[in-house]
Amino acid sequence: MASADHPARVYVGLASPLREILFESRTWDRLQMLAEVDVMPDGADALPAGLCRDYDVLVTGWGTSLLEGLDADRLGLVVHTAGSWRSVITDEVLAGDVVVSQAGSDPMARAVAEFALTMTLTILRHVHTYDRSMQDTRDYIASRQPEYGDSIDALRHGLVGLSRVGVWHAKMLRGLGCDDIVAYDPYFPEEHASEVGVRLVGLEEAMASDVVALHAPVTPETMGLVGRSELDLMPDGGVLINTARAAIVDGAALEDELVSGRIRAGLDVFDEEPLPPSSPLYGLPNVLLAPHVAGATTQARFGQGKAAVDEIERFLRREPLRFVIDPASASRLS
């Protein structure tokens, strides 16, 4: 740990331009006031050999090499700036003496929830349909079909997973007047459900909602969680939103449903990314597609950097950390 004789040292294992995307100048300046900061050289693909001996904190994110094992010689904290951490942090690291914080996940969660809500509103009010028709035909009158959409607060919303994203999504729905929100999450505490504004139910009841949004992490337990039988539970014209991970859903079953036109969907994630040009999802009038960008806002990216620096400051001041990954529950996280 840092002391008066040994100032804190932080190694930022992120190359340019990602550093500039995550850390706006005032956040970077604050980090440099807290500690001596070294950065990964452009073009480097490995962390320094003396990392555990020479630094107190390691900052990781997209592109950081896998941490096979860390000795807590001097290193005390790993702060991960991205959402998913399994490509960087191993179970061995989590079980060791170095604390791991997923600080970047909360700002991203809000942005992802916002995008899920945006997709929902776009589909319910046929925004993408009107736009496509007007752009393609330039026919103002003919483009006003379908004439009516649905009000978001008139429908039942089912959330599959009350992750940080799921909780944010529920709060946003409540803010728009939605009071019929159910959620499936076997690990979410019952006593906190009313605080979020949801009613906990089984997977089958959640899938029978008018709008179903997937917010579960990818774990062995959730792979293929939503299969053909679960999709069958959705009402005709129901809306499925997936800004989480494609592996949660049986991709073939979902394609069949969407090609048939029975349900609608907003999809930001796919079994194969980039989505191949041959995918049958292209051109479907009942499908809204996005190229895995749900968490990508300028403010969310800067928020990830700020959250990391906030966590580092708490660590150096020996204050309680906010985003520590608990090894006991890590198997339920992505």
* 259 plus 115 within the same structural domain: yes
**Two tokens at 264?**
């609608």
Q: Is 60 helix (H, G, I), strand (E, B) or coil?
A: strand
Instruction: Report pLDDT for 43.
Output: 86
* 52 plus 169 within the same structural domain: no
Upstream peptide bond of 280 is cis (omega within 30 degrees of 0)? no
Note down the domain range covering 42.
Answer: 9-101+298-332
Rounded-to-integer distance, Cα 144 and Cα 133, Å: 9
pLDDT in tens, 146-182: 999 999 999 999 999 999 999 999 999 999 999 999 9
pLDDT in tens, 18-51: 999 999 999 999 999 999 999 999 888 889 989 9
* 138 plus 277 within the same structural domain: yes
Instruction: Report pLDDT for 86.
Output: 86
Q: Is 240 helix (H, G, I), strand (E, B) or coil?
A: strand
The single-letter code of the amino acid at 283 is G
CB atoms within 10 A of CB 194: 10
* 27 plus 82 within the same structural domain: yes
The single-letter code of the amino acid at 105 is S
* 232 plus 322 within the same structural domain: no
Expressed in percent and rounded to 5, the helix, strand and coil fractions of the chain are: 35, 15, 50
Let me know if residue 66 belongs to a domain. Answer: yes
* 121 plus 192 within the same structural domain: yes
Confidence of residue 328 (pLDDT cuts 50, 70, 90): confident
Let me know if residue 221 belongs to a domain. Answer: yes
* 205 plus 138 within the same structural domain: yes
Four-point Cα dihedral 249, 241, 274, 19, nearest 10: -110
Decide if 202 contacts 226 (C-beta within 8 A). no
Angle at which helices 25-34 and 298-316 pack, to 10 degrees? 10
In the chain, the number of structural domains is 2
pLDDT in tens, 98-125: 999 999 999 999 999 999 999 999 999 9
What CATH number corresponds to the domain at position 226?
A: 3.40.50.720
* 140 plus 198 within the same structural domain: yes
How many helices (DSSP H) and strands (DSSP E) are in the chain?
12, 12
**Got the DSSP string for 306-329?**
HHHHHHHHHHHTTPPPSSBPPGGG
Catalytic residue list:
245, 273, 292
The reported pTM is 0.94
CA contacts within 13 A on the Cβ side of 62: 13
Rounded-to-integer distance, Cα 166 and Cα 160, Å: 8
